[in-house]
Amino acid sequence: MGPWLAPIHAAGSAYAKMTSPLGLHTMIDRSTARQAGLLAILVLTSWMFKTLESGAARPDQGVRVWVEHSLTRVQPTSKAGSKNVVEIAAARKEVESFQVVVSSAGQKLDGVTASVSDLNDSSGHRISSNQIQLYRQEYVYVRNPSPYSAEPPGWWPDPLVPLVNPYDGKPVLGIRLNREEQDGRVSYTLSGARFPGSGFTVWPGRNQHLWGDVSVPADQFPGAYRGSVSIRLGEGEMIEIPVKLTVWDFGLPDGLPLITQFGSLDGVSAQHGVLDGSLQSIQIQERYAAALEAHRIAAPIPSELLPQIRPNGSHYCPNVS
């Protein structure tokens, strides 16, 4: 018995125990109690269905999927929102972002994947899905908030893990244990990324964010574009989130709007566990610089790309062909 029915049940029991010389009142009171109990069940059922209908898209009662503004910081246990449509606007040559959040109140969800469609307008103009990047957001624990922050310590979303490897176009999968047998000897090796992008896990009672970046081409026709973000819950049902993009009839100017300085990329390679000067180190630094430039932020020049000075005073770039 639910807590909502307990008072009605208690009242019904009290009515049923009342006595009458003819027993008529007892019968009437019992009937009244039954009717009250049935009415309460109907009201509660109606309320539950209305609650489910007003929520975000999901395949069952345990899974919630909703949309958040790109400036909203949603923590792992934040209350689910109600918006289920991505609505954004951007100028030509602008990058606009959005968030989609997945949570499960029931079972653990393994192997969750996401993809995005092309965006099309009513006249046949298209923004290719190649212009839209999807990431999975990781959380970091903030022990000491900034001095002027009103937020408490806790887990906050920050790093973005691409769903697709930017170098080979393959899904960024998590760590796997591989068993190999050769000449009667068995060995085990690890492969995959420490932080997986695609095929991620949604733990019960925890939110998992997806971040999307839409890059509008310089020559894009203005207007209203429509598409969708698709989320597959492992081997289960596919959830479709509509995407509505308005492209304004003007473009951002070329170049950077402000002269900025973000220090250097020294030390980034060590954080990724690779040697400075290696090919992988150069790729990582180039990727950081490209991400900053794509969002119109002046990136520091990777140290491996800085010119070297010859003994005669001339210079050259050893890592640039």
**Digit-coded pLDDT (tens) for 199-225:** 888 999 999 999 999 999 999 999 999
Quick check: 196 and 79 in contact, CB under 8 A? no
SS3 of residue 158 by DSSP:
strand
**Separation CA 186–CA 176 (nearest Å):** 16
pLDDT in tens, 52-84: 333 454 445 588 999 999 999 899 999 998 999
pLDDT of residue 292: 83
Is the model more confident about 221 or about 195?
A: 221
Q: What angle do CA 198, 105, 41 make, to 5 degrees?
A: 145
Quick check: 294 and 96 in contact, CB under 8 A? no
pTM: 0.71
SS3 of residue 90 by DSSP:
strand
Residue 119 banded pLDDT, cuts 50, 70, 90: very high
Residue 286 banded pLDDT, cuts 50, 70, 90: confident
Give the pair of three-digit tokens for residue 296.
């119109």
**Separation CA 311–CA 209 (nearest Å):** 53
